[in-house]
Structure 1
Amino acid sequence: MLLKKEKNLTWEAIGEAVDMTHVWITSACLGMNSCTQEVAEKLVTFLGLPEAATAALMEDPTKTWNQAVPQDPLIYRLYEVVGVYGPTLKEVIQEKFGDGIMSAIDFSMSVEKEEEPKGDRVVLTLNGKFLPYKSW
């Protein structure tokens, strides 16, 4: 993150440089996804990182987070959205698809800015494959 700031880069620019979305490359740089060798090498070259960083970027992550209520206001609001609307989303998804879950593995996400006179809007799109529960 410090290097990104020092080089005055955006996640958008980093993503474009390595042919990945800005959301995915941000997640990888924060240690929540692993890069392929090709992407890791491009990222290391683009950012001017030591070659040893290639292996670190390719490591399988342990996707854990602090289970306590987040303190950062933006993250807390997302937590609040899931807390308030999670049961609603579950009901609507299961009504449309049946009993199952949305994959976070076969998944993509985008973050867009929608300009509006009364205040700009954040548009989050979560796109996950539906995985029905199996009966046996």
Structure 2
Amino acid sequence: MVTKQEAAAAVRHAKVVTGVTWEQLAQAVGRPLVWTTAALLGQHPMSKDEAATAAALLELGDDVALAFQLQPTRGALEAAVPVDPTIYRLYEVIQVYGPAIKELIHEQCGDGIMSAVNFRLDVKRVPDPAGDRVVITLDGKYLPYQW
């Protein structure tokens, strides 16, 4: 049986070989771009039809399509502190701005948290005269603590 990690590696390889983009995969599967990318990298289970569509587009076999359908172990990174520069910068952003974000959520919404289950995420490249910018939108449902 192919694991979700092995399937993710197969996806990365197949994308290079086939030239298929994440956007093309998302359109074919009929799901949002970020969700589809995360699913194919092992963070969400796909339906049987979604998995078959993605596997066919990437020219991968039924064993990989089956792995796409498995329940993931979410948030599993290879190290407690990520070493990849892109992922580490996001970690750094949360280290620097996490306490401020928490305070602002509490001030504006009350004692609670932002859901990572009822959640949307978007990534965009935005032209800027001083150099293009990356805009990341985190959109999670507010969940009040209930005592």
TM-score range, shorter chain: over 0.9
1:80 pairs with one of 75, 87, 92? 92
2:129 pairs with one of 117, 123, 135? 117
Number of aligned residue pairs: 135
- Alignment match, 1:17: 28
- Alignment match, 2:111: 99
User: Where does the alignment leave 5 or more consecutive residues of structure 1 unmatched?
Assistant: none
2:17 pairs with one of 6, 9, 16? 6
* Stretches of 4+ aligned residues off by more than 4 angstroms: none
Give the TM-score normalised by structure 1.
0.93
Q: Secondary structure at the match of 1:85?
A: helix
User: Taking CA–CA contacts closer than 8 Å with sequence separation of 6 or more, which of the two structures ends up with the larger relative contact order?
Assistant: 2
Give the TM-score normalised by structure 2.
0.86
Q: Distance in 2 between matches of 1:66 and 1:98?
A: 34
User: Where does the alignment leave 5 or more consecutive residues of structure 2 unmatched?
Assistant: 1-11
Q: Distance in 2 between matches of 1:8 and 1:31?
A: 20
- Alignment match, 1:108: 120
Counterpart contact for 2:14–2:59, Cα < 8 Å: no
- Alignment match, 1:54: 65
- Alignment match, 1:39: 50
Question: Over aligned residue pairs, what C-alpha RMSD do you find?
Answer: 1.2
Summarize deviations over 1:56-76 as a string: whole Å, max 9, x none: 111000112245322111111
2:81 pairs with one of 60, 69, 93? 69
Q: Distance in 2 between matches of 1:130 and 1:24?
A: 20
Counterpart contact for 2:111–2:144, Cα < 8 Å: yes
Q: Secondary structure at the match of 2:36?
A: helix
